[in-house]
Structure 1
Amino acid sequence: MEFAEGKILAEAKDGVGRITFNQPEKRNAMSVAMWAGLEQALDAFEKDAAVRCVVLTGAGDKAFVSGADISQFDRLRSDADAQREYSKQTAGGRQRLAAFPKPVIAEIRGFCMGGGLGIAMSCDIRLAAEGSQFGIPAARLGIAYGFDMVRNLVALVGPAHAHMILMTGERFPAAEAERMGLVNRVVPADALAAEVAALTRTIAANAPLSLYANKRTVQAVMADRAERDIAALNAAMAACFDSQDYQEGRRAFMEKRRPAFQGR
């Protein structure tokens, strides 16, 4: 599948959906159209019951996403009013990624900067290749990032590291990102694809209802107390215990075989 005139590519295979940011000539910088395309791709994968998890990655080996497409700034983000309109235009993609119910993994090569880092932080797991570079250059552009992105950053690295990243605007290497807790794991560049494939095989083989319930609960833990729907969390947990998959999981354990989960 192609969205945003081919700037967002999506394919599904063996239970794994894969979305590629496909603007390598601009280091996969995100345009407004690409945000809409991301929303459409995620919608398609949520509706596809065969897709158990999703991988986000960038085309080529130069960048995951290098940030927002700065060539659109003069036209779309020239002042505060324009920025508010830009935020409205891109909100669908951002909110869709943040609320996506299935596991999402960021496969990071090269530059992961600014809004690109925001996308990676909205994923559940981040694997990075050695040689990747990270940063939020907002202070060097004279702009500020919104509450949700900064909250994600603080949740991952803590306030001290968040201040360092935001106040310096500097790039830092993958090893530093791993040390701070920004990425889960750093692997040699030529091993990244295999590492992600192994991870997605593991996740795709697990019970979909459990994945959904556990992801939702982690999100609730990190949310403000007023935003937590405890009744919905309890209902998701009860659905797991009442599911055919729970019965299958118990049988498979006793029979010493791999379970065949169906998501019901």
Structure 2
Amino acid sequence: MAQTQKDQPAGKLTLEVLGGVGRITISNPGRYNAMSLAMWRQLAQLARQAEQDPAVRVLMLQGDGDRAFVSGADISEFDSLRSSTEQVRAYGIAVDHAQEALSRCAKPVVAAIRGVCMGGGIGLALACDLRYCTDDSRFRMPAAKLGLGYDRAGIRRAVQMLGAARTAEMFFTARDFNGTEAERIGMVHQSFPGAVFADEIAALAGAIAANAPLTIRAAKLAIRHAVGDPAAQDETAVDQAVQDCFDSKDYQEGRLAFQSRRPPRFSGT
């Protein structure tokens, strides 16, 4: 007997680490990888786990399959888990914690977007440092079609990435746009044909993983400071992260590799 959508098992997230790349896969295929409340909470946990894992140098966020990255929050839960004032508050905290775990991760975070990316999926993508998609990916911010409010942190992040005018259009019209337009307006850094997407993203993640971890850490912290992230406003900490690079074995390795005309082998120390 076929399962109804209501009877389908809840989604899940997995973390796999290979070659310095940690891949968090969001899987809820029966609902285009929509995020349940439990999944929002699990994402925050996995992102923090990857941040603490020395084997992870770059974190990638992806959807299960090629139909969807994340289609948003799982609306089927809203009546039971996002209706009362207290429930709305608790749900918002879970979403905020998931997004902050990505944006404040000391390691670079890459969104690999295939297929549908809507609502909370856009919020997750914008919480990542780098975003790439297939040309035929589909984006939409449907909040105005649902009557729900979008939190200040999410709006601020969208304005930082897209500008106020583009953010206003995206929220006010709730219209669809594809991956090519997403690249044009700055939603993603680059879009690729689907046939080469996996190879391009793997090459990019591998290149980041091969670079000096402390340099990337310092750069991300300084960028967060520059855009006004409240959790990155300690100038002393930013300056120390920069100094840590110069005090590191990797700085010595970088100089030796340059002089020897060979690729550097960075250890993150």
If the TM-score is normalised by the length of the shorter chain, which range does it land in?
over 0.9
After TM superposition, give the deviation of residue 208 of structure 1 in Å: 0.5
Alignment counterpart, residue 141 of structure 2, candidates 130, 136, 141: 136
After TM superposition, give the deviation of residue 192 of structure 1 in Å: 0.8
Equivalents in 2 of 1:74, 1:29: separation in Å?
16
Whether 1:13 and 2:18 are equivalent positions in the alignment is yes
1:59 corresponds in structure 2 to: 64
After TM superposition, give the deviation of residue 43 of structure 1 in Å: 2.4
Alignment counterpart, residue 211 of structure 1, candidates 190, 212, 216: 216
Equivalents in 1 of 2:85, 2:67: separation in Å?
31
Quick one: which amino acid aligns to residue 262 of structure 1? Answer: S
Quick one: which amino acid aligns to residue 135 of structure 1? Answer: R
Normalized against structure 1, the TM-score is what?
A: 0.94
Equivalents in 1 of 2:217, 2:243: separation in Å?
12
Where structure 2 has 5 or more consecutive residues not aligned to the other structure, the ranges are 1-8
After TM superposition, give the deviation of residue 70 of structure 1 in Å: 0.3
**Corresponding residue SS for 1:112:** strand
**Given the superposition, is the C-alpha separation of residues 226 and 104 from structure 1 closer, same or farther in structure 2, using an over 3 Å criterion?**
closer
After TM superposition, give the deviation of residue 224 of structure 1 in Å: 5.7
- 1:121-142 C-alpha deviation (Å, 9 max, x unpaired): 0011111001101111111111
Equivalents in 2 of 1:162, 1:93: separation in Å?
21
Q: Percent identity?
A: 45
222-231 or 19-28: which moved more?
A: 222-231
1:242 corresponds in structure 2 to: 247
Count of residues in correspondence between the two structures: 261
1:150 corresponds in structure 2 to: 155
**Given the superposition, is the C-alpha separation of residues 81 and 5 from structure 1 closer, same or farther in structure 2, using an over 3 Å criterion?**
closer
**Corresponding residue SS for 1:128:** strand
**Given the superposition, is the C-alpha separation of residues 240 and 95 from structure 1 closer, same or farther in structure 2, using an over 3 Å criterion?**
same
Whether 1:111 and 2:116 are equivalent positions in the alignment is yes
Moved over 2 A (4+): 79-82, 88-95, 224-227
Whether 1:23 and 2:19 are equivalent positions in the alignment is no
- 1:141-189 C-alpha deviation (Å, 9 max, x unpaired): 1112111111111111111111100101111111111111110000001
Instruction: Report matched runs for 1:1-264 at 5 Å.
Output: 7-223=12-228, 228-264=233-269
45-54 or 84-93: which moved more?
A: 84-93
Contact 2:63 2:69 in 1 (8 A): yes
Normalized against structure 2, the TM-score is what?
A: 0.93
Equivalents in 2 of 1:7, 1:235: separation in Å?
38
After TM superposition, give the deviation of residue 92 of structure 1 in Å: 3.1
RMSD (Å), alpha carbons: 1.7
Where structure 1 has 5 or more consecutive residues not aligned to the other structure, the ranges are none
